[in-house]
A = this chain, B = another copy of it.
Amino acid sequence: MSDAPGTPTDPVRRRVLAAIAGAGGLALAGRVGAEEASVPDPTKVPGRPPSSVGERSEHARLERRAAFGAISGTPLQNLHGTITPSDLHFERHHAGIPSIDPAHHELLVHGMVERPRRFSLADLLRFPAITRIAFLECSGNLRLDAGEETTPQFLCGLTSQSEWTGVALATLLREVGVKPGAKWLLAEGSDAAVMTRSIPIEKARGDAILAYAQNGEPLRPAQGFPLRLFNPGWEGNTSVKWLRRIEVSDRPFMTREETAKYTEPIGDGRVRQFSFTMDARSVITTPTWPATLERGWHELRGIAWSGRGRIARVEVSLDGGRRWQDAKLAGPVLPMAHTRFTLPFRFVGAPMELASRAIDETGYVQPTVRQLIEARGVGSVPYHLNPIVHWGIERDGRVLYKPLAWR
């Protein structure tokens, strides 16, 4: 819906609907004036016939927004439920989206394996398929420079959720036979950046997926068509897109993306490497800027997720963090998955300050900005930052993001 909750209702519309209802046989008073006559009655004209694909309504425009570099964020504030439409999944790439003909794409698996082999997509489709719903989040998913007029999309739209289908990487590793002593593998993409990451063998033998489908259909090119690695719960860049090569080894490969990039200072002068797991986090998606609330009851809504498993609880504050209450979680609550939380609240014309914090099944609690700064220091690299964020409601109902005191 492009209508945000609380959008002032249109007085014309109510009269028009009275006219439509009257046409349907209801005895309702309603003056039909010039304005009403200009709104076509959909019951009086034949509709469009079936089509090969069902497009969106022209009134339901949705789009990703480019942030900086080769990045675009998901419009979290416009979405419902937990699935991100495939064409609105956030994108991050290091040298653009390659154009790949799947008939000419293969995955080479070699290194410390008994039977090195290339697999075509037809080969991969013959292996047992597994499917799971899970989030995928970029490790750099926070804009520290966000001002009051900020949407969730701009602030932290680099998280999205899909139903992923593919072959368990563990299955393929059994097929090629991993040699004793193997501890890491390299995943390599076929984009112009030849994106590479080292993955511990435990993850590869665990829940990692060689994904060829997303939300029922083949991956979209921006998401790695025709094949990507998918590491549930881990920072997005490890889920290497356009995957063409896996090399098994006894040590990590120390690629650019795990030495020069994707490492974080931890406050005492040292830098953290191979920080794979995404910590628990939540964000309110409704109400947020640029909504203006009418007085009365509303439903606060948001999503929470954790790379360590299920969300156990989400707490919401309506007074800037002084008092907290449990939000309601919508089931099924799946591990490593965006989980919807909701809480009804009443706006009476007095200022409010909304905030949410996620608690996952390990007991981890989403930190405040202050706690994050104490633990990590004020580094220049915004990776793995998941602070509680606040949204203010002004006396007149305007909703504004409260910029983080990141210093």
Please list the residues of chain A having a beta carbon within 8 angstroms of any beta carbon in chain B. 1-7, 9-10, 12-14, 16-17, 20-21, 24, 26, 39-40, 42-57, 59-60, 62-66, 70-72, 78-89, 91, 93, 95-106, 108, 110, 118, 120-123, 125-131, 163-165, 188, 190-192, 194, 212-213, 215-218, 220-223, 225-226, 242, 244-245, 296-299, 301, 330, 332, 334, 340, 342, 344
| 20 A-B residue pairings within 8 Å (CB atoms) | A1-B212, A4-B125, A6-B122, A13-B103, A26-B245, A39-B104, A42-B100, A43-B194, A47-B191, A49-B96, A50-B71, A54-B87, A55-B220, A57-B218, A57-B225, A59-B101, A62-B217, A83-B163, A126-B297, A332-B332
B108 to A340, Cβ gap below 8 A? no
**A66 smallest CB distance to B (angstroms):** 5
A64 to B59, Cβ gap below 8 A? no
A129 to B301, Cβ gap below 8 A? yes
Task: Give complex CA distance A56, B106 in Å.
Answer: 20
**A187 smallest CB distance to B (angstroms):** 13
B54 to A63, Cβ gap below 8 A? no
Which residue in chain B gives the minimum CB-CB distance to A7? B122
**A159 smallest CB distance to B (angstroms):** 13
**A68 smallest CB distance to B (angstroms):** 10
Task: Give complex CA distance A244, B49 in Å.
Answer: 21
* Extra contacts besides A13-B106, A49-B66, A131-B340 (19): CB < 8 Å: A6-B122, A6-B126, A9-B122, A17-B105, A20-B244, A21-B245, A39-B101, A43-B98, A47-B95, A47-B97, A47-B98, A47-B192, A48-B96, A50-B93, A54-B88, A57-B218, A60-B226, A62-B217, A80-B213
* Nearest 7 pairs of A and B residues by beta carbon: A47-B96, A42-B98, A52-B63, A80-B213, A80-B165, A50-B72, A54-B222
A44: B residues at CB distance < 8 A: 192
Task: Give complex CA distance A296, B126 in Å.
Answer: 10
A21 to B220, Cβ gap below 8 A? no
A340: B residues at CB distance < 8 A: 131
A332: B residues at CB distance < 8 A: 332, 334
A53 to B126, Cβ gap below 8 A? no
A126: B residues at CB distance < 8 A: 5-6, 296-299
Q: A3-B121, A21-B245 are in contact. Are A110 and B80 (CB under 8 A)?
A: no
A226: B residues at CB distance < 8 A: 1, 57, 59-60
The answer, among B51, B72, B102, B123, for a CB contact under 8 Å with A51, is B72
B242 to A88, Cβ gap below 8 A? no
A55: B residues at CB distance < 8 A: 87, 220-221
B299 to A102, Cβ gap below 8 A? no
Task: Give complex CA distance A39, B102 in Å.
Answer: 12
Q: A16-B104, A163-B83, A225-B60 are in contact. Are A188 and B50 (CB under 8 A)?
A: no
B52 to A82, Cβ gap below 8 A? no
B106 to A14, Cβ gap below 8 A? yes
A20: B residues at CB distance < 8 A: 190, 244
A50 to B64, Cβ gap below 8 A? yes
The answer, among B16, B192, B330, for a CB contact under 8 Å with A43, is B192
**A242 smallest CB distance to B (angstroms):** 7
**A327 smallest CB distance to B (angstroms):** 12
A192: B residues at CB distance < 8 A: 42-47
B165 to A81, Cβ gap below 8 A? yes
**A235 smallest CB distance to B (angstroms):** 19
Task: Give complex CA distance A299, B62 in Å.
Answer: 37
Task: Give complex CA distance A4, B125 in Å.
Answer: 8
Which residue in chain B gives the minimum CB-CB distance to A106? B17
A108: B residues at CB distance < 8 A: 17, 21, 26
